[in-house]
Amino acid sequence: MKEKKQFFIPKNYDKKFEWIPGVSGWQHMAFVPVIALDYFILTHTPFDITNKLVISAVLLGLPWTLIGTRPVRENVSLYKHLYWEIEIYESTKTIQI
């Protein structure tokens, strides 16, 4: 008779469902205003449909890029990294006379 295999699952393994790897559920809320803006563009603007679709695709890709890209460290998103860079820049401004 065959024995059942036992697998070791590490404690830091997260078993939640992710549409974008490494992005939590609450971070997906960044797409809600973008989807609303895309709906407004598609229904209320006088542009050609191809231009509307290109603009909508770019707007949908922006939050995915900011949330999904990890530029420096694996656990820091691009939007956090940019936010910290802006904070450092603002705090180190010198007064010029």
Task: From first to last of the 97 residues of the chain, give the pLDDT tens digit.
Answer: 577 777 776 666 666 666 666 677 777 777 888 889 999 999 999 999 999 999 999 998 888 887 777 777 777 777 888 888 888 888 877 666 6
In the numeric block, the tokens 């050609």 are attached to 48
- The whole-number pLDDT of residue 3 equals 76
Q: Whole-model pTM above 0.75?
A: no
Residues 6+ apart with CB under 8 A from 37: 59
- The whole-number pLDDT of residue 20 equals 65
d(CA 12, CA 96): 49
- The whole-number pLDDT of residue 17 equals 63
Tell how far CA 23 is from the center of its chain: 7
Q: Which two tokens stand for residue 4?
A: 């059942």
